[in-house]
């Protein structure tokens, strides 16, 4: 495909999908699109690029970067926020990484992050949460947190099906709801906005399948379905029910339920079996703190996943180090959890760790586990040595405060030492 405002590297090769296995076929020099993003994206994305390049080189590979545009940078070049060729370039090249994009609250247009996920059908938002030695945390034992959150990415309230107060459409929906419920007063009189929350069997099962597959492949003990099914019987309770149904239909002895664990095994899971259980969302927020070590992989509808993953991130030091990625069938879009923080843009001061570790997830998806492990070790060694950006420096004693670019240099130096 040819592009108007995108330069395709001459030296790299495209990532493809093996038709027989559905797995990514990755050359040693893949072309990988990158969107710097808005605000601090122009600081953290180049830092992440530098570290990812160093890890690739240390393991005998290279990354050929293809710069794409979305948000402010796209408006300058295309006069729109999310150009078609940005989406098509990611679709064609299959694996990409992006920085944060800004969506003004109440501005009248949808989140660009959500739009990218939906247009590319990146249905699983994956957020590993683990503590790095040396990172200050608000909890006593942050090392107990080692959890991977699988958040459904396309449905729930994030589907964007809603109507604005005062419109004819919202009144039609109000009338329909009250007629169907058989009573008036279900929705308060006066101006009201109304949204619809779709949760489907198809969307739920493919997300939960990703979570269970991950748990099996990575020797995790359990998958917890997090829902509010005690209140929302036909959406979130259905998510839970479809999860148990999937586990029974597709996994055989590889998976057992929590009830089976206690009824047949007295709480001791058989070797290699993954326990599938469920928790009410508000209770799960509490158990993140009180029983952290009892949870490995969480699978959740979209909104629950947003809340839970941020809460988990707080326990390991905050969103400045929290990575994420969006997965679809044969596609990956890595992105940090944090926002664009425009007031710090261009100051070369913010922490790029979240985007660096998001790149680590991307490398794992490429099958480059050696390079991915090298990045984690280098980041942890750098932080443990007290070489940190301002956000962590103000919480520790005796450290060295580094600019964003200096921190990237320090991590790259550790990669060279460790490789």
Active site residue ranges:
158, 228, 282, 306
Confirm whether residue 342 is marked as ligand binding. yes
Query: Which is nearest to 351 in space by CA: 39, 34, 43?
Result: 43
- H/E stretch holding 363 reads helix 353-366
- H/E stretch holding 388 reads strand 387-388
Confirm whether residue 107 is marked as ligand binding. no
Q: Which residue has the tokens 């923080």?
A: 341
Confirm whether residue 354 is marked as ligand binding. no
Please give the angle made by the CA atoms of 129, 366 and 98, to the nearest 5 degrees. Answer: 60
Strands 325-328 and 331-334: what pairing? Answer: antiparallel
Measured distance CA(157)–CA(185) in Å, rounded = 23
Confirm whether residue 118 is marked as ligand binding. no
Query: Which is nearest to 200 in space by CA: 242, 161, 232?
Result: 242
Q: Which residue has the tokens 């150009």?
A: 83
Confirm whether residue 331 is marked as ligand binding. no
Contact 6, 66 (CB under 8 A): yes
Half-sphere exposure of 147 (CA within 13 A, CB side): 31
Confirm whether residue 78 is marked as ligand binding. no
Strands 124-130 and 325-328: what pairing? Answer: antiparallel
Confirm whether residue 307 is marked as ligand binding. no
- H/E stretch holding 274 reads strand 274-280
Please give the angle made by the CA atoms of 324, 69 and 83, to the nearest 5 degrees. Answer: 105
User: Who's near 246: CB < 8 A, 6+ residues apart?
Assistant: 205, 208, 209, 212
Confirm whether residue 94 is marked as ligand binding. no
Quick one: CA torsion of 61, 67, 69, 75, rounded to 10 degrees?
160
Confirm whether residue 339 is marked as ligand binding. yes
Confirm whether residue 404 is marked as ligand binding. no
Tokens encoding 258: 């929590």
Confirm whether residue 328 is marked as ligand binding. no
Confirm whether residue 343 is marked as ligand binding. yes
Instruction: Mark the binding-site residues, compressed into ranges.
Output: 102, 111, 113, 117, 127, 151, 306, 338-344, 351, 390, 394
Q: Give the residue ranges of the annotated binding site for NADP(+).
A: 102, 338-344, 351, 390, 394
Query: What residue numbers does the annotated binding site for D-threo-isocitrate cover?
Result: 111, 113, 117, 127, 151
Task: Point out the annotated binding site for Mg(2+).
Answer: 306
């Amino acid at each position: 495909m040819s592009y108007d405002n995108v330069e395709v590297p001459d030296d790299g090769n495209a990532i493809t999908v093996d038709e027989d296995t559905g797995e990514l076929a990755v050359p040693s020099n893949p072309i990988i699109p990158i969107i710097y993003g808005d605000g601090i994206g122009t600081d953290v994305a180049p830092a992440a690029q530098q570290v990812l390049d160093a890890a690739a080189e240390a393991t005998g590979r290279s990354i050929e970067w293809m710069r794409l545009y979305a948000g402010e940078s796209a408006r300058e070049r295309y006069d729109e926020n999310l150009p078609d060729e940005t989406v098509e370039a990611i679709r064609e090249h299959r694996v990409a990484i992006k920085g944060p994009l800004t969506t003004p609250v109440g501005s009248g247009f949808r989140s660009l992050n959500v739009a990218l996920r939906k247009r590319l059908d990146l249905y699983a938002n994956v957020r590993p949460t683990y503590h790095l030695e040396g990172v200050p945390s608000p909890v006593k034992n942050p090392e107990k947190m080692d959890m991977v959150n699988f958040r459904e990415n396309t449905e729930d309230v994030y589907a964007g099906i809603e109507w604005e107060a005062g419109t004819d459409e919202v009144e039609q929906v109000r009338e329909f709801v009250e007629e169907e419920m058989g009573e008036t007063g279900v929705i308060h009189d006066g101006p009201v906005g109304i949204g619809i929350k779709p949760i489907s069997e198809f969307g739920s099962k493919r997300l939960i399948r990703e979570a269970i597959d991950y748990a099996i492949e990575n020797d995790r003990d359990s998958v917890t379905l997090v829902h509010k099914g005690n209140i929302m019987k036909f959406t979130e309770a259905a998510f839970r029910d479809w999860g148990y149904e999937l586990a029974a239909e597709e996994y055989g002895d590889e998976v057992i339920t929590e009830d089976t664990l206690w009824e047949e095994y007295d709480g001791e899971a058989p070797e290699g079996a993954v326990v599938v259980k469920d928790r009410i969302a508000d209770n799960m927020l509490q158990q993140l703190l009180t029983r952290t070590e009892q949870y490995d992989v969480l699978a959740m509808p979209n909104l629950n996943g947003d809340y839970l993953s941020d809460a988990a991130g707080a326990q390991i030091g905050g969103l400045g180090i929290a990575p994420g990625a969006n997965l679809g069938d044969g596609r990956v879009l890595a992105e940090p959890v944090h926002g664009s923080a425009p007031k710090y843009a261009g100051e070369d001061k913010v922490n790029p760790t979240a985007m660096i570790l998001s790149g680590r997830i991307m490398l794992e998806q490429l099958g480059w586990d050696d390079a991915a492990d090298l990045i984690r070790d280098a980041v942890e060694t750098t932080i443990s040595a007290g070489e940190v950006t301002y956000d962590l420096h103000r919480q520790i004693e005796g450290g060295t405060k580094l600019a964003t670019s200096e921190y990237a240099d320090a991590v790259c130096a550790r990669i060279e030492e460790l490789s």
